[in-house]
Amino acid sequence: MAKVGRPSKEIDKEQFEKLCALQCTKEEIGDWFDVSEDTIERWCKKVYHTNFAVVFSKNRNKGKISLRRAGFKLAEKNAAVHIFYAKNFLGMTDKTEQVVTNIEDLTPLAEMLNENTDD
């Protein structure tokens, strides 16, 4: 007996993983393949034996790695990007901080300031 219902849509696994790496949502991926979000979810369970969120997370991280690689490469040529990476990844800052480590008795200084304000 023949199956009743819509003909199944083909979802290309490699293309699907690339869309996840680009941070596309389930809705966007569904639109790309012209299928519903439920179809994407069922397809993930069939192909990967787990849900969309798990598959997305794994492939999303591949996209983050690519983005980071491109950012580091761009930082070699672009000072603003270099500064961004230095601040965010190396903890560098353009603020100057002064830390007082030895506090002496400030009474003479306070008295001198009071004398000057009494005039």
Residue 10 three-state SS: coil
Look at residue 101 and tell me if it is in a domain. no
Q: Which domain holds residue 91?
A: 13-96
CA 38/CA 57 separation, integer angstroms: 18
Instruction: Tell me the CA distances in angstroms from 75 to 16, 69, 70, 78, 86, one per residue in order.
Output: 30, 10, 9, 5, 9
**How many domains would you assign to the chain?**
1
At 64-101, the pLDDT tens digits run 888 888 888 998 998 998 888 888 878 888 777 777 66
Alpha helices, H only, the chain: 13-21, 26-33, 37-48, 52-75, 79-90, 107-117
Look at residue 92 and tell me if it is in a domain. yes
Look at residue 83 and tell me if it is in a domain. yes
Residue 56: name the closest of 30, 79, 36, 80 by CA.
30
Look at residue 91 and tell me if it is in a domain. yes
Task: Give the pLDDT confidence score for residue 87 in this predicted structure.
Answer: 86
Task: Give the pLDDT confidence score for residue 119 in this predicted structure.
Answer: 55
User: Residue 19 burial (CB < 10 Å; 0-12/13-18/19+)?
Assistant: buried
pTM, 2 dp:
0.61
At 25-46, the pLDDT tens digits run 999 999 999 999 999 999 999 9
Look at residue 43 and tell me if it is in a domain. yes
